[in-house]
Chains A and B, each alone.
Chain A
Amino acid sequence: MSKRKIVIIGNGISGITCARNIRKNDEQADILVISGETKYFYSRTALMYIYMGHMKFEHTKPYEDWFWEKNRIDLLQAWIELVDFQQKKLICHNGDTIHYDHLILATGSKPAILDWPGKQLNGVQGLYSYQDLELMAEKTKGIKSAVVVGGGLIGIEMAEMLASRKIHVTFIVRESNFWDNVLPKEEAMLINKHIREHGIDLRLSTELDEILDDGKGNVKAIRTKNGDTVSCEFVGITIGVIPNIDFLRDTDLELGKGILVDTYFRTNLANVYAIGDCAEFRDSIGENRKKIEQVWYTGRMHGESLAHNLSSARVMPYQPGVWFNSAKFFDIEYQTYGNVPPQIEEDSETFYWEDKSGKVAIRFNYLKHSECFQGVNAFGWRLRHEFFDRAISEKWTIDRVIGQLDKSSFNPEFYKPYHRLVLDAYNKTRGKAVKFRKTSFFHKLIGSRA
């Protein structure tokens, strides 16, 4: 392969995955990854753990620093101010210019914010980047109370972060239950309860109206649309993220909400690609898939797919497999596989089971007619990805899935066998007689799942 210069803007999971996978197939190419945020790749999802004192920044780097030189992936810490697509060059914040043959835009997201009065006050911020984290650490030092606005994944993380430092948190959520635009009501309510168990003042169906000034430019309180005032020294804005593409406006690059790409991640300009959070697909990439995918896993898959296309003869369109995702709400882990919409669809049936502890729950969705398994939500219960990926892509019936629930659990050894309770509940409510395959005494003794 010819020696070409591939420049990637952004060293998050998509950009770095792309760089690594290009290198695997192409010994020759010059690969340069540029980021203004940090020189080295770190795991964005781990930012919260730095704030909580579980780890230091260095622990969040998935590769040791020598890795990049060894694999001849050049790193440059710089902010790109401008892209000159005609001349194929980038202009850095310090005026340096960088030439490219292929440009991959993997610039990620930035926190979304509405035009609230007081949004510019000292102590009001979102959380996305390492800089945001440093700012948050500085602004929350020694404070007593904070408000988090927006009931999504970053919102609950921010609430957990602040609570870990004994800061009282008021959590303002627009929806009537936490994250119920994604979670069905039962699950959302289970999380409501858990949030409150952690001493968080969760206010549902509440919207932010205004952020109040203390007269010196610092936040003093917030006012909600119901007229309540909550005094606080810090306001976290976590109503979502939007593609980080401001520096690309007013160029020839076609933009929508994000950088518009086809299923090969090609933009309207030759040799310019976009992947990860900042990319917006022109056409649907599949049933129930969003046009902007802002998840770690999809970012990784975008990187893998584009790297393949840039370094092998046969190009392939992006074709994600069975949907999966995970999160952790304080102490309760969440995993989902397949399609579990917040409101049950017409043609579907649902089976929900919740443990009496209120911390373990599982939901199975399946089609009414064929009883074909559609998707699963699990709370406080680890599930085997491989198992559910197969069950969904091979269109298993719900009975078959339930009958193998013992094999599908990924909980640590000696955990309570919830699968038995679920099986009983399923048989009882559906009038079925599904059974697990018997495990021999010897297999139990050696603790084998096989």
Chain B
Amino acid sequence: MKKLQVLGLGLFIVGLSIFSYLPFIGQYQLEETMVEAEVKSEHQEVMLSILRPMFGETYQINFQFISDLNRLIDAHNDDLKIREAWDEVIWDDYSFPLTKAAANTPISDYPLAYFSLSVLLAIFGAMLYIVPLYRGEPEGIKNNGIYFSSMKSRGLLGIITGTYLILFYVLLYWFPAYIANLVIMVDPLSKALSGQEASQWFLYGLLYTLAILVMGIRMFRKYKGNMYQTIRTASVMFFQLAFAFLIPEILILLNKPWHDFKNIWPLDYSFFYDYRLEGMVSSGALGMFMLVWGIVLIVIGVPLLTYFYGKRWYCSWVCGCGGLAETLGDPYRQLSDKTLKAWKVERYLVHGVLVFAVLMTAVTLANYFMEFGLLGQATNQLHSIYGFAIGAAFAGVVGTGFYPLMGNRVWCRFGCPLAAYLGIVQRFKSRFRITTNGGQCISCGNCSTYCEMGIDVRWYAQRGQNIVRASCVGCGVCSAVCPRGVLKLENGTEDGRINDMPIIIGNKSVQVKS
């Protein structure tokens, strides 16, 4: 490793450490005006009275502040719950906005300085490390030492990284109050883009986009000379930056609903939720376009593009989850489980989630049009179960937090309902396949090892069979790492695409059907 790279790694760790420390600095002081500003009007009176003991009190650390806040609100709610006064219970979570408002930290005064010292420093360090990677080396596969690396083969560093990511997701989804300082830090950026204060989701979107961009540059270095990988990576970087990050913020600036035009139901599971439908229907021509475009993607876009190109057109070229997996997750792609057992679990899980999403959406739509009381309650229940179990726990905590433990496509493989839908089309009606090159396979196992979706590619390749699998996202890495030129992703005629009883070329004495 060059000195510059060591320095880069050091700066990255410093930046990350500062970033991780920032949530705990500053003082917290709650005022009545803050409650008036952050709390819904129907809760104002009661909240003002519940939180009276905290007014004027100065807290030296957010833990104490949040704990007092929650204790007071919980005590109020518990009392109501015992009396079964359900309508009066405060279901809204005010801990994040109130903590953010009460924070009195230097970050509020110098957000850009803190942003530079943490996020920008980490990016700068990462770039110092990444840009010189493989400089002066010939183009080729750069997998040397992966299984000696603690970070990349579930060693201590990998476990620490996984734990850090999991913790971050848990805070983000369920305890955002604890990272209020970080959100304050990106307020100016959010205001510049959308005119609004930042939420924890803005912070998340920003970090997510930066991760894809920085690690995308690493992909350019690592797969230098492989045009398929280069173009594909550029594509996910573009779609994340433009479609998932900038355009939605600009829409907010224009007073339109936040909308990611490349996100497709059922991955975008809330697309048919009443507030989303209302938002689109009430936003004029652009809103109608969002609705129609979304439905066109589901009904025509997915089947048609998947027919011509396979599900890769979405999963490894456009999708945000796929984008993160293919960039930030690339160092962990070899950790996916290739066993037959894992494949069985995968099929039950991923199609199970698809069924759940479809049923939930059906109930949601029925409720939307019928406005039937009982259905309304069922809808709310389903939404909260799905949001918690699938949207947050599965897609976020497990999906990304487990990168260093179970590989980079855990969510895409076991959980994503859109991947399941795309997969069904790919398996049964598509021109896409990975062609096996006659009898050239030497069963070395590089393809299977580096398949992020846990497909045992070798099993097909060594018997001369094309790989046609619902789960294949077409990342092209099996083909890249193959030392004998055996695998090629291609779109061709459906004729001969699936050959269940292949004959391996080369032996004229007997025709062996594998």
Chain A residues with Cβ under 8 A from B309's Cβ?
446-447
Can you identify 16 A-B contacts, CB atoms within 8 angstroms? A46-B443, A53-B149, A54-B143, A62-B462, A64-B339, A194-B138, A304-B504, A319-B507, A322-B506, A333-B483, A385-B440, A386-B438, A412-B226, A412-B489, A413-B227, A416-B227
Q: Are A46 and B493 in contact (CB under 8 A)?
A: no
Q: Are B485 and A383 in contact (CB under 8 A)?
A: yes
Q: Are A412 and B440 in contact (CB under 8 A)?
A: no
Q: Given A43-B444, A331-B139, A414-B228, are A56 and B147 also a contact pair (CB < 8 Å)? A: yes
The answer to the question of A117 belonging to the interface, with a C-beta cut-off of 8 Å to chain B, is no
Chain B residues with Cβ under 8 A from A36's Cβ?
none
In the complex formed, the residue of B with least CB distance to A197 is B138
The answer to the question of B144 belonging to the interface, with a C-beta cut-off of 8 Å to chain A, is yes
Instruction: Write the B276-299 contact mask toward A (1 if CB under 8 angstroms, else 0).
Output: 000000000000000000000000
The answer to the question of B372 belonging to the interface, with a C-beta cut-off of 8 Å to chain A, is no
Q: Are B431 and A297 in contact (CB under 8 A)?
A: no
**B interface SS class:** loop
* Number of interface residues, chain B, beta carbon within 8 A: 56
Q: Given A197-B138, A335-B485, A413-B228, are A55 and B147 also a contact pair (CB < 8 Å)? A: yes
In the complex formed, the residue of B with least CB distance to A45 is B442
Name B404-433 residues within 8 Å CB distance of A.
431
* Number of interface residues, chain A, beta carbon within 8 A: 61
Chain A residues with Cβ under 8 A from B438's Cβ?
324, 384-386, 389
- Hey, which bits of chain B sit against chain A, CB under 8 A? 138-141, 143-149, 226-228, 231, 308-309, 339-340, 431, 435, 437-440, 442-446, 448-449, 458-459, 462, 476, 479-481, 483-485, 488-493, 504-510, 512
Chain A residues with Cβ under 8 A from B340's Cβ?
64
Distance in angstroms from A405 CB to nearest chain B CB is 15
Distance in angstroms from A302 CB to nearest chain B CB is 9
Partner of A410, one of B144, B339, B485: B485
Distance in angstroms from A436 CB to nearest chain B CB is 17
Q: Are A412 and B479 in contact (CB under 8 A)?
A: yes
What is the bound-complex CA distance between A308 and B440, given in angstroms? 21
Query: Which of A13, A413, A414, A446 has the most chain B CB within a 10 Å cutoff?
Result: A413
Q: Given A52-B144, A322-B506, A382-B437, are A446 and B444 also a contact pair (CB < 8 Å)? A: no
Q: Given A320-B508, A447-B309, A448-B493, are A333 and B485 also a contact pair (CB < 8 Å)? A: yes
The answer to the question of A400 belonging to the interface, with a C-beta cut-off of 8 Å to chain B, is no
Name A351-398 residues within 8 Å CB distance of B.
359, 382-386, 389
Q: Are A321 and B506 in contact (CB under 8 A)?
A: yes
Distance in angstroms from B134 CB to nearest chain A CB is 11
Distance in angstroms from A334 CB to nearest chain B CB is 9
Q: Are A305 and B446 in contact (CB under 8 A)?
A: no
* Those 9 A-B pairs whose CB atoms lie nearest each other, nearest first: A385-B438, A331-B140, A382-B485, A46-B444, A414-B227, A319-B509, A53-B145, A308-B510, A321-B508
Q: Are B505 and A62 in contact (CB under 8 A)?
A: no
Q: A297-B439, A319-B507, A321-B505 are in contact. List 18 more A-B contacts (CB 8 A).
A: A43-B443, A54-B143, A55-B445, A164-B145, A296-B442, A316-B509, A331-B138, A385-B506, A386-B438, A389-B506, A410-B488, A412-B228, A412-B488, A415-B227, A446-B431, A447-B308, A448-B491, A448-B493
What is the bound-complex CA distance between A318 and B507, given in angstroms? 8
What is the bound-complex CA distance between A415 and B485, given in angstroms? 14
What is the bound-complex CA distance between A382 and B440, given in angstroms? 11
Name A22-47 residues within 8 Å CB distance of B.
43, 45-46
Chain B residues with Cβ under 8 A from A448's Cβ?
431, 490-493
The answer to the question of A294 belonging to the interface, with a C-beta cut-off of 8 Å to chain B, is no
What is the bound-complex CA distance between A164 and B439, given in angstroms? 29
Distance in angstroms from B85 CB to nearest chain A CB is 59
Chain A residues with Cβ under 8 A from B508's Cβ?
319-321
Distance in angstroms from A140 CB to nearest chain B CB is 14
What is the bound-complex CA distance between A264 and B490, given in angstroms? 39
Q: Are B510 and A305 in contact (CB under 8 A)?
A: yes
Q: Are A301 and B492 in contact (CB under 8 A)?
A: no
What is the bound-complex CA distance between A304 and B484, given in angstroms? 21
Q: Are A446 and B144 in contact (CB under 8 A)?
A: no
Chain B residues with Cβ under 8 A from A322's Cβ?
506
Chain B residues with Cβ under 8 A from A331's Cβ?
138-141
The answer to the question of A428 belonging to the interface, with a C-beta cut-off of 8 Å to chain B, is no
Partner of A389, one of B141, B442, B505: B505
Q: Given A53-B147, A197-B138, A301-B506, are A413 and B490 also a contact pair (CB < 8 Å)? A: yes
Q: Are A49 and B507 in contact (CB under 8 A)?
A: no
Chain B residues with Cβ under 8 A from A55's Cβ?
147, 444-446, 449
Q: Are A385 and B437 in contact (CB under 8 A)?
A: yes
Q: Given A53-B146, A333-B483, are A45 and B443 also a contact pair (CB < 8 Å)? A: yes
Chain A residues with Cβ under 8 A from B442's Cβ?
43, 45-46, 296, 326
Name A414-450 residues within 8 Å CB distance of B.
414-416, 446-450
Q: Are B339 and A412 in contact (CB under 8 A)?
A: no
Chain B residues with Cβ under 8 A from A411's Cβ?
488
In the complex formed, the residue of B with least CB distance to A296 is B442
Partner of A53, one of B144, B443, B458, B489: B144
Q: Are A316 and B439 in contact (CB under 8 A)?
A: no
In the complex formed, the residue of A with least CB distance to B225 is A331
What is the bound-complex CA distance between A164 and B227, given in angstroms? 24
Q: Are A320 and B506 in contact (CB under 8 A)?
A: yes
Name A315-353 residues within 8 Å CB distance of B.
316-322, 324, 326-328, 330-331, 333, 335
Q: Given A54-B446, A319-B508, are A326 and B440 also a contact pair (CB < 8 Å)? A: yes
Q: Are B489 and A54 in contact (CB under 8 A)?
A: no
Q: Are A320 and B509 in contact (CB under 8 A)?
A: yes
Distance in angstroms from A50 CB to nearest chain B CB is 8
Chain A residues with Cβ under 8 A from B444's Cβ?
43, 45-46, 49, 55, 60
What is the bound-complex CA distance between A62 and B492, given in angstroms? 28
The answer to the question of A198 belonging to the interface, with a C-beta cut-off of 8 Å to chain B, is yes
Chain A residues with Cβ under 8 A from B489's Cβ?
412-413
What is the bound-complex CA distance between A385 and B441, given in angstroms? 11
In the complex formed, the residue of B with least CB distance to A357 is B139
Partner of B138, one of A64, A198, A327: A198
Q: Are B138 and A304 in contact (CB under 8 A)?
A: no
Chain B residues with Cβ under 8 A from A416's Cβ?
227
Q: Are B143 and A305 in contact (CB under 8 A)?
A: no
Chain B residues with Cβ under 8 A from A21's Cβ?
512
The answer to the question of A59 belonging to the interface, with a C-beta cut-off of 8 Å to chain B, is yes
What is the bound-complex CA distance between A64 and B454, given in angstroms? 14
Q: Are A53 and B143 in contact (CB under 8 A)?
A: yes
Chain B residues with Cβ under 8 A from A52's Cβ?
143-145
What is the bound-complex CA distance between A297 and B440, given in angstroms? 8
